[in-house]
Amino acid sequence: MDRTLFRSVDQTVPLVTARFLTAGSHDRKTNHYILGRQLMSNRTSRRGFLSETPFAPGISCGRLGEGMPLLVTPFPGSALATAPEAWRTWLRDNNGAVMAALNEAGAMLFRGFAPTTTRQFGTLFDHLMPFSEGCRGIANPRATKDGRVLTSTSAPPGFRLHLHQEICYAPSFPDLLVFHCVKPSPTGGETTLGDMRRMRQMLPATFNDKLDRLGIIYRRHFVHPDMPPHPFAPAIRNFHRSWDMAFGTKDRKEVEAICSDLGSFEWGDDGSLEITYASPGTIEHPFSSETIWFNQIATLHANPRSLGHFSSSIRRLYPPGAKLPTTVTWGDGSVIIDAELQPVYAALDTLTVATPWERDDVMLVDNISTAHGRNIFSGEREIEVAMFDNLPNEEF
């Protein structure tokens, strides 16, 4: 491998940083595009040069299974394997090389590095900007563990989460996700991955054409805070949350201020809240300019495949006409029928890669090019997550 390539990337980052920090622009995505394309201009190709050759000093690299994620390990006995602060410094100093490698690999699994506490994990990527919009109003309930560190998901162990990109049902979404394995489950529980750069190639042209022409609309419904839990299914409140749970406040004005950044919103006569967001269902990747599958049709469309063995219970609790917590339609308002999604699920199944967790693993994921999910599991499982914008932290 030509190491001068990575030197040129590393040298470019401060120059580009200076450009967008002094430009006076507050458009995060525009700045991300400027940085990504500048980095790509120093690349001979997006793929092909990254192999088992280390891309930065002090580490070894290898491929796992289907090639995703890229496995990164420190030299045995080195400071990277024993001292969290040394690892944190290494990530900061080699950020250009790490991000170039991530752009190609889609996900990187750091294994064998110094064990970290939750608080230490939260500081590993201090050199990057925390996800600016936070997680209030997101579809998947999470608990804050420490600062920016959240629980990964509250979905029941028997529920399989299909591949998806985080918060792509809203105008603002994190560019990067970082997972930390505190405790792997005895069986299952892998955080699955899938290369969404390949997704559209695997779908019928008729489906892609329809998505390009119509886009999709997400409608997310939150019940009134005082609505009592369903008498036969009290746990349904985690599935269909009240808006005070989702936004962390009962102040309507505060909720409305947050909603203004999430799409259009409407209060129901019963005190419920509905947020609507129209999305193209695809996105242009800032590093490569590729058009990439970027939606949650597979996870937020209510059908037997997405709901799994909970499907019959949900259908009993929500008769025809009842408001579901999430609804996905075509952009013209027409229904996406279950049969249209069969090739979507088939493609996602083909792309899904599952790597078993080991304690203290840390996985960095490009939330645009790479989707993630979760397999069913048994026993105890504890995975933490932090979300970032792919921009330098000005306060670091």
Amino acid identity, position 43 = R
Q: Could you tell me the residue range of the domain that residue 78 belongs to?
A: 3-191+355-392
Q: Report the chain's mean pLDDT, rounded to a whole number.
A: 82
Both 13 and 114 in a single domain?
yes
Higher pLDDT, 229 or 333: 333
Both 134 and 283 in a single domain?
no
Using one digit for the tens of pLDDT, what is the confidence trace for 133-152? 666 767 666 677 777 888 88
Both 185 and 131 in a single domain?
yes
Q: Does 4 score more than 50 pLDDT? A: no
Both 29 and 142 in a single domain?
yes
Contact 344, 304 (CB under 8 A): no
φ/ψ of residue 152, rounded to 5: -75, -45
Q: Rounded to an integer, what distance in angstroms lies between the CA atom of residue 271 and that of residue 98?
A: 47
The CATH number linked to 59 is 3.60.130.10
What's the number of domains the chain is made of? 2
Tokens matching residue 6: 């990575």
Both 218 and 257 in a single domain?
yes
Q: Tell me, what's the pLDDT at 230? A: 63
Contact 366, 107 (CB under 8 A): yes
Q: Tell me, what's the pLDDT at 15? A: 23
Higher pLDDT, 29 or 380: 380
Both 118 and 173 in a single domain?
yes
Q: Tell me, what's the pLDDT at 16? A: 26
Both 94 and 163 in a single domain?
yes
Task: Output 307-313 pairs: Cβ under 8 A, ≥24 positions apart.
Answer: 308/158, 308/159, 308/160, 309/158, 310/159, 313/233
What average pLDDT score do residues 163-190 get?
95
DSSP strand pairing (370-374 vs 128-130): unpaired
Q: Rounded to an integer, what distance in angstroms lies between the CA atom of residue 174 and that of residue 128?
A: 12
Both 52 and 183 in a single domain?
yes
User: Please, how many CA atoms are within 13 Å of residue 154, restricted to the half-sphere of its CB?
Assistant: 15
What average pLDDT score do residues 120-140 get?
81
Contact 20, 31 (CB under 8 A): yes
Contact 74, 38 (CB under 8 A): no
Both 187 and 204 in a single domain?
no
Q: Tell me, what's the pLDDT at 57? A: 81
12-26, 151-165, 369-383: the lowest-pLDDT one: 12-26
Q: Tell me, what's the pLDDT at 239? A: 76
Q: Tell me, what's the pLDDT at 6? A: 26
Both 159 and 292 in a single domain?
no
Q: Does 294 score more than 60 pLDDT? A: yes
What average pLDDT score do residues 126-131 get?
88
Q: Rounded to an integer, what distance in angstroms lies between the CA atom of residue 115 and that of residue 276?
A: 42
Higher pLDDT, 44 or 193: 193
Element (H, E) at 5: helix 3-22
Nearest CA-CA partner of 308 in 317, 298, 295:
298
Q: Does 28 score more than 90 pLDDT? A: no
388, 155, 136, 292 alpha-carbon torsion, rounded to 10°? 50
Contacting residues for 170 by C-beta, under 8 A, at least 6 apart: 133, 137, 138, 262, 263, 277
Q: Does 106 score more than 90 pLDDT? A: yes
Q: For residue 322, name the pLDDT band (cuts at 50, 70, 90).
A: confident
Residue with tokens 């064998």: 112
SS3 content of the chain, % helix, strand, coil (to 5): 30, 25, 45
Q: Tell me, what's the pLDDT at 277? A: 96
Both 326 and 273 in a single domain?
yes
Using one digit for the tens of pLDDT, what is the confidence trace for 304-319? 888 877 877 888 888 8
Both 80 and 154 in a single domain?
yes
Nearest CA-CA partner of 363 in 124, 142, 139, 52:
124
